[in-house]
């Protein structure tokens, strides 16, 4: 009998960053949001988004990192900045920049907000409607791959706190997006789920080694598990991960979100919270 294939639920919801109070006021009063055409994710370019939700940054203080508001998209058009802001100088360098203007039916509020415990750095998160309306932890919204979902389910069953798709910016401004970040008292852990085909490519193998060395030099433990590891030896993956967590001092729990970044102090790199 043929084995049933995993069917990924389509992404029709876009969680978008909200980092400007003027944009938020327009959203409330005029029911529209803008995304630069050159920065737009495929879910917008391909007109797949039906719902857009908003992720406030630290600018919003008490509401930071809590997705409360969303709306059904009524219309989406491509316009110039001059169309959006006719009062701005017509000869400015930004006047002809192209945007998607996303107009909403109305602005709605979730009964319980979706929260990032540590303050994910993100711009866009495409997700499915079932994930968006059924979870209150941002980590559940990432609809990336069945391999990562399987690993995430194992972490949840083992009650191992983790952050998915964690953005890490190093002192030299290099940005890495980690499949999973597990924060421990002595040393954080990056776990990567490597699809066999992609990560066997020579260029990718070289990149992965360089990336591992970079993260390890900056205080991270790095664990990589292949598709075969996760599909057939998941309990062994869990055992190795738990040993690494214990070796790194156990979990560092948080009550309020923290943003981790590296700060250069002389020749030393330290965590700044």
Residue 139 lies in a domain: no
Dihedral sign (CA 201, 154, 259, 247): negative
Residue 6 lies in a domain: no
Does 266 have pLDDT greater than 70? no
pLDDT in tens, 131-160: 999 999 999 999 988 899 999 999 999 999
Q: CA nearest 228: which of 147, 156, 143, 154?
A: 147
Whole-model pTM: value is: 0.84
Same domain, 121 and 172: no
Owning domain of residue 266: 144-272
Same domain, 123 and 78: yes
Residue 252 lies in a domain: yes
Please say which residue of 111, 132, 153 terminates a domain: 132
Same domain, 56 and 18: yes
Same domain, 162 and 263: yes
Is the CB of residue 192 less than 8 Å from the CB of residue 207?
A: no
Q: Which stretches of 141-267 are DSSP H helices?
A: 146-157, 196-199, 202-217, 227-232, 234-247
Q: What is the pLDDT of residue 88?
A: 87
Lowest mean pLDDT among 151-165, 192-206, 225-239: 192-206
Q: What is the pLDDT of residue 7?
A: 60
Output the domain CATH number for residue 107. Answer: 2.30.130
Is the CB of residue 23 less than 8 Å from the CB of residue 33?
A: yes
Same domain, 84 and 187: no
The half-sphere exposure of 190 on its side-chain side, counting CA atoms within 13 A, is: 23
Output the domain CATH number for residue 180. Answer: 3.40.960.10
Same domain, 263 and 242: yes
Same domain, 124 and 150: no
pLDDT, averaged across the chain: 87
Determine the Cα angle at 183 with ends 199 and 189, to 5°: 30
Same domain, 69 and 162: no
Is the CB of residue 260 less than 8 Å from the CB of residue 168?
A: yes
Q: Give the total number of structural domains in the chain.
A: 2
Q: CA nearest 146: which of 196, 195, 205?
A: 195
């Amino acid at each position: 009998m043929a084995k049933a294939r995993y069917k990924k639920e389509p992404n029709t919801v876009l969680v978008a960053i909200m980092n400007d109070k003027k944009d938020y006021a327009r959203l409330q009063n005029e029911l529209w949001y803008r995304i630069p055409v050159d920065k737009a994710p495929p879910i917008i370019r391909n007109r797949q988004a039906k719902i857009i939700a908003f992720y406030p940054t630290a600018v919003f203080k008490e509401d930071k990192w809590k997705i409360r508001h969303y709306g059904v998209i009524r219309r989406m058009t491509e316009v110039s900045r001059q169309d959006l802001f006719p009062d701005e100088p017509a000869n400015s360098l930004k006047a002809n920049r192209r945007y998607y203007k996303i107009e909403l039916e109305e602005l709605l509020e979730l009964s319980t907000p979706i929260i990032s415990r540590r303050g994910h750095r993100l711009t866009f998160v495409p997700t499915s409607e079932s994930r968006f309306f059924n979870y209150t932890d941002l980590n559940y919204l990432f609809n990336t791959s069945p391999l990562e979902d399987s690993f995430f389910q194992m972490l949840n069953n083992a009650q191992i706190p983790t952050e998915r798709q964690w953005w890490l910016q190093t002192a030299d401004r290099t940005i890495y997006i980690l499949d999973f970040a597990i924060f421990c008292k002595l040393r954080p852990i990056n776990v990567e789920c490597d699809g066999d085909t992609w990560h066997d490519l020579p260029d990718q193998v070289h990149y992965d080694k360089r990336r591992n060395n970079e993260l390890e030099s900056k205080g991270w433990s790095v664990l990589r598990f292949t598709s075969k590891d996760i599909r057939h030896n998941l309990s062994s993956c869990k055992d190795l991960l738990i040993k690494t967590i214990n070796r790194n001092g156990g979990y560092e729990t948080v009550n309020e979100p923290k943003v981790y970044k590296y700060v250069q102090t002389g020749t030393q790199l330290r965590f700044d919270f």
